[in-house]
Amino acid sequence: MKLGITMPSRTAPLSRIPDYARMADEAGFESIWTYELYRNPFSMLCTSALTTSNAELCTGLATAFNRSPFEAANAAADVDELSGGRMKLGLGTGVPEFLQAFHSTDFQRPIKRLSEYVEALRRSWAYLAGEEVEPFNGTYYQFTAPPINPWGLRDGVRSDIPILIAGMRPQLLKLCGAKADGWIGYLWTPKFFEQVVLPNITEGARSAGRDPDALDLACEIICCVHPDRDVALARAKKHVGFYIAHPVSDVVAEIEGVQDLVNGLRASMMQKGLAAFEETPEELVELFSITGTPEECRQKVDNYKALPHLALHTSYVPPFTAEESEDCYLQIIDAFKR
């Protein structure tokens, strides 16, 4: 199993990101992840590339529908160039509410749009590498090489950067198998992985004549480590509650038979706001996170051996401060350094 870690970039000073990446690289983590909220994940990985030499640099995730495929292709190529070919593009649709409120677009027909996006992305990389590229004319995205480009092309390390599609429901998982190089998920459980993720990714891959065993299947798992187990548990409750309350998590909650607990948490959130997550049931914490003392957490990682690529997810959601998230990150590094 490949072991990675996510950097706490929501509130940390941007100047700390290269240091976070260096720490994880020196500690032996095989992949380092950052995510998109307000800050640009590509720029953070570019600075991380300058302080690392071994770990893969991954967006977990970057959002598609708020930028053109060509812009995303160049941003990923920047990271790939600076890192010597260590970039992996974890790609998601984007949050529907943000797309409408901030990006002047919508969430209509996300499967078809994301499928076309991947087609345009790959053509962009091929074109920039000097290859002959067939035009693509989709409903939402197009790519046609201009007849004359006086600016020339760009130097790059690779003409095709690995794409990991984020998805939790069957249709996105099938798309992942059919067109992506891997999958990125969250709130993993063995039952969810075996009953939903693997069958749908396998179906999608085989329908496209691809080998499902060749895909990089990765998942970000909330990890709260602390010598004081009570501190670790209190932190995990806030993060797990924040995640499980979102409707996209229902597919996992239903399979695990905890939908009533999730619905109760949502009802409490309507009354207490974010404070409700401090009372997230311990059953949900145990099910959806790696939480406890360093020794406990190292033992719990053994439960994820069926997962090819595990990214330990540092707590960062509100109301975590930059200082608290940094401590969460450093505790993970100290517990899992190799």
CATH code, 86: 3.20.20.30
**Does 265 fall in a domain?**
no
Of 248, 247, 238, nearest to 272 (Cα)?
238
Domain count, the chain: 1
**Does 257 fall in a domain?**
no
Can you tell me the distance from the alpha carbon of 176 to that of 138, in angstroms, rounded to the nearest whole number? 18
**Does 64 fall in a domain?**
yes
Looking at residue 98, what is its pLDDT? 85
**How far does Cα 289 stand from its chain's mean position?**
16
How many residues in the chain? Answer: 338
Looking at residue 115, what is its pLDDT? 98
**Does 263 fall in a domain?**
no
Does an H or E element contain 166, and which? strand 163-166
Looking at residue 19, what is its pLDDT? 98
**Does 21 fall in a domain?**
yes
pTM over the 0.85 mark: yes
**Does 270 fall in a domain?**
no
CA angle (287, 290, 295) in 5-degree steps: 130
Ranges of residues in the chain whose predicted pLDDT is under 70: none
**Does 259 fall in a domain?**
no
Looking at residue 23, what is its pLDDT? 98
* Helix, strand, coil distribution of the chain in percent, nearest 5: 50, 15, 30
Burial of 214-244, coded b for 16+ CB within 10 Å and e otherwise, reads ebbbbbbbbbbbbeeeebbbbbbbbbbbbbb
Looking at residue 96, what is its pLDDT? 78
**Does 241 fall in a domain?**
no
- Owning domain of residue 96: 2-232+287-336
